[in-house]
Structure 1
Amino acid sequence: FNDGEKSQRIWTITKQAPDRYSGRAADVVGTAQGTVKGNVLNWQYVLQVPYKGSTINVNFDDWMYLMNDKVLLNKAIMSKWGFKVGEVVITFEKL
């Protein structure tokens, strides 16, 4: 991240139907659900986020846009109790 923080999340993703996926990761509560339309994936899940020496569960609504065969743009809206608490924009580049 811009502030120097580093993060790693390893997903196990399963195709459920031609346009639907589910996924699991160590810090995800339950199972993530995703739907693909064209070059866009909408991925929704609950993430355990570190907070004051503990964790809190935050809802994530990720929108991933495949820009070309090497670049993915990810915009995630984070919410708690229905209120937006943050937003993350990340670019992934395939090397």
Structure 2
Amino acid sequence: MPRPSLAAALALAATLSGCGGQSLDDYAAGTPRLDLREYLDGPLAASGIFFGRSGEAELRFTVDMVGEWEGSTGTLAEDFVYSDGRTEQRTWTLTFTDDRNFTATAHDVEGEAVGAQSGSAATMRYRLRLKREGGDEITVSMEDWFYLTEDGTLINRARMSKFGVTVGELIVTFRKLPR
């Protein structure tokens, strides 16, 4: 089973269509307004579940994060703890090219993630290298959608696919913590 990843982090593509044919433009008028540069600034906590191909919940995890920004570039350091006892760290570097579009990199992402935000949502696509049991790696395509709720919770729905076939899904909730 591949090791799931949070795209907690986080980032997106300009007129992406994704889960169920949705478009980022569908959320342009949505409130509350999501700006990842503000939301991912400071300490955050997240928890999530990885659902395998069959739809069954296979793995739970928590993530402690800290985001820091300087202008249009930010870093998001993530510390994962999985229900099977494994731990993992990832640091994203996000760069906004304008108020809507951004790119992101991390050590286990091939090339750059491409993302965008509009209204109450954001999305990002990228290829992620995951370690499997036995030590080998698998590369999956990731499509992340982020939705900001009225109470300040950020919900992430991420679809993992290989050769166009869905191999798993993540559902993650993010909470900002006091500084």
Question: Structure 1 length as normaliser, TM-score?
Answer: 0.89
Corresponding residue for residue 58 of structure 2: none
Q: 2:96 aligns with which of 1, 15, 35?
A: 15
Q: Does residue 72 of structure 1 match 2:168?
A: no
Q: Deviations over 1:42-69 (max 9, x none)?
A: 1111111111311111100000112247
- State the one-letter code of the partner of 1:18: D
Distance 1:54 1:24 in 2: 22
What residue ranges of structure 2 are gaps of 5+ in the alignment? 1-60, 62-81
Assess, with a 3 A threshold, how the Cα gap between structure 1 residues 71 and 8 changes in structure 2: closer, same or farther: farther
More helix by share: 2
1:27-55 deviation line (CA, Å, top 9, x unaligned): 11100000111111111111111113111
Q: Counterparts of 1:69 and 1:10 in 2: how far apart (Å)? A: 27
Distance 1:48 1:33 in 2: 16
Q: Counterpart of 1:58 in structure 2: which amino acid?
A: V
Count of residues in Structure 1 that have an aligned counterpart in Structure 2: 95
Larger strand proportion, structure 1 or 2? Answer: 1
1:62 to 144, 150, 165: 144
* Cα shift at 1:78: 0.2
The Cα shift of 1:6 comes to: 3.9
Q: How does 1:1-95 map to 2 (within 5 A)?
A: 1=61, 3-4=83-84, 5-51=86-132, 52-68=134-150, 70-95=152-177
Q: TM-score under structure 2 normalisation?
A: 0.49
RMSD (Å) for aligned C-alpha atoms = 1.6
- Identical positions, percent: 39
* Equivalent position amino acid for 2:97 in 1: Q
CA distance in 1, matches of 2:130, 2:147: 24
Provide the C-alpha distance between the structure 1 equivalents of 2:146 and 2:111, rounded to a whole number of angstroms.
Answer: 20
One-letter amino acid of the counterpart of residue 136, structure 2: S
Q: Amino acid of the residue matched to residue 94 of structure 2?
A: I
Deviation of the 1:8 alpha carbon = 3.1
- Give 1:94 deviation, angstroms: 0.8
Q: Give the 3-state SS of the residue equivalent to 2:97 in structure 1.
A: strand
Structure 1 residue ranges without an equivalent (≥5)? none
Between 1 and 2, higher relative CO (CA 8 Å, sep ≥ 6) is seen in 2
**How far does residue 3 in structure 1 lie from its aligned partner after superposition?**
2.5
